[in-house]
Amino acid sequence: MTQNAGRRRGFAALALCILASALAQVLLKIGVLRAGCPPAWDSVPWGQWLASCHSPGLWWITAGLASYAISLLAWLQVLARLPLSAAYPLLGISYVLVYGAAAALPVLAEQLTPLRAVGVLLVACGAGMVSSSTAPRVSPASPQTAAKRP
Amino acid sequence: MWTSYLAVALAVVLLTLGQVLQKVAVDRLAPDITPWNLATAALRRPEMWAALACLGAGMLAWLLVLGSMDVSKAFPLLSSGHLLVLAAARYYFHEDIPRMRWAGAALIVAGIVLVAQT
């Protein structure tokens, strides 16, 4: 039962992690757009480069980083409770969320081609499959599960 | 454009390394630890600081990517990190990887190839 509770907490943390990471991407992109910094490899010296950014954009980027930090903290909870190869790829749901946000938010004004949509779906499905567990299920009463408990 | 892809690759490697190092850090803690203790105990581990350094550097690389690429294009490219994690899960953490997961990895590769065309 404690193991089940641990798994439930793990998946709740995973849900938070997915939402926060998708939100972080959207906030960061809006921030980069609003900041209007030139691409860094346009041979602008670093000092000048930062000075040429607009501060409202930097606030959006800060909000994006905060959201990223929340997803990271949630991720730590996930890591402690679920196996890595099962937990990490479920983050694939965030690919659909980010694409949906890019399509829905006029501020991003992204060029959404069918090819890109198919690619995103493949990535999300692939991520979902990578998360699937086809290992044999173990019933709670089985000796293997009992042996793991102290 | 190739500089954008170089930045994507750099971001993927750093962010993935950050994830794996976090796993190494929390794996050495007691499994029934409370959420708050987990975060503070993790911060006492050197692997966690290495993880944060990687995540910070990876985030800088990622901002360079977002500066020159649509987020709806760049973010799916980040999924190549799943492939690195799968390799780490198999060869470093010695987890058993069912065939289904390798098939998923193949779909991810196909998706990345399509997205990169756009």
Give A91-149 pLDDT, tens digit per residue. 778 899 999 999 899 888 787 899 999 999 999 989 888 766 554 444 344 344 333 43
pTM beyond 0.90, yes or no = no
Query: A55 vs chain B: nearest CA distance in angstroms?
Result: 15
In contact, A72 and A91? CB cutoff 8 Å: no
What count of Cα atoms within 13 Å lies in the side-chain half-sphere of residue A39? 10
- The first and second tokens of residue B72, run together, are 């709806």
Q: Is residue A140 part of a domain?
A: no
Q: Is residue A143 part of a domain?
A: no
Angle, helices A93-104 vs A114-131, to 10°: value is 160
**Pairs across A and B, CB distance < 8 A:** 180
Alpha helices (H) along A36-113: 46-51, 55-81, 84-87, 93-104
Q: Is residue A11 part of a domain?
A: yes
Statement: residue A1 has pLDDT above 60? no
pLDDT at A136: 40
Statement: residue B34 has pLDDT above 80? no
Q: Is residue A117 part of a domain?
A: yes
**For tokens 């293997």, what's the residue?**
A144
pLDDT at A143: 41
Would you list the domain boundaries of chain B?
A: 2-117
The better pLDDT of the pair A36, B52 is held by: B52
pLDDT at A144: 41
pLDDT at A46: 67
**For tokens 């006492």, what's the residue?**
B44
pLDDT at A88: 62
Q: Do A119 and B66 touch (CB under 8 A)?
A: no
Between CA B53 and CA B22 the distance in angstroms is 11
B9 Cβ neighbours under 8 A, 6+ residues apart: none
Chain A residues with beta carbon closer than 8 angstroms to that of B61? none
On whether any CB of chain B is under 8 Å from the CB of A100, the answer is no
Q: Do B115 and A116 touch (CB under 8 A)?
A: yes
* Out of A2-11, A41-50, A73-82, least confident range: A41-50
What's the rounded mean pLDDT across residues A20-34?
A: 93
Closest Cα to residue A27, out of A80, A111, A97, A119? A97
Between CA A122 and CA A120 the distance in angstroms is 5
What's the whole-number average pLDDT of chain B? 88
Q: How far is CA B3 from CA A38, A41, B65, in A?
A: 14, 8, 9
Number of domains making up chain A? 1
Q: Which domain holds residue A56?
A: 2-134
Between CA A118 and CA A77 the distance in angstroms is 32
Q: What is the pLDDT of residues B14-25, one digit of tens each?
A: 999 998 898 888
Secondary structure (DSSP) of B68-93: TS-HHHHHHHTTHHHHHHHHHHHHTS
Statement: residue B68 has pLDDT above 50? yes
On whether any CB of chain B is under 8 Å from the CB of A107, the answer is no
Statement: residue B72 has pLDDT above 90? yes
- The first and second tokens of residue A125, run together, are 């499905």
Task: Please give the single-letter amino acid code of residue A143.
Answer: P
What's the rounded mean pLDDT across residues B98-117?
A: 93
On whether any CB of chain B is under 8 Å from the CB of A138, the answer is no
Chain A residues with beta carbon closer than 8 angstroms to that of B105? 126, 130
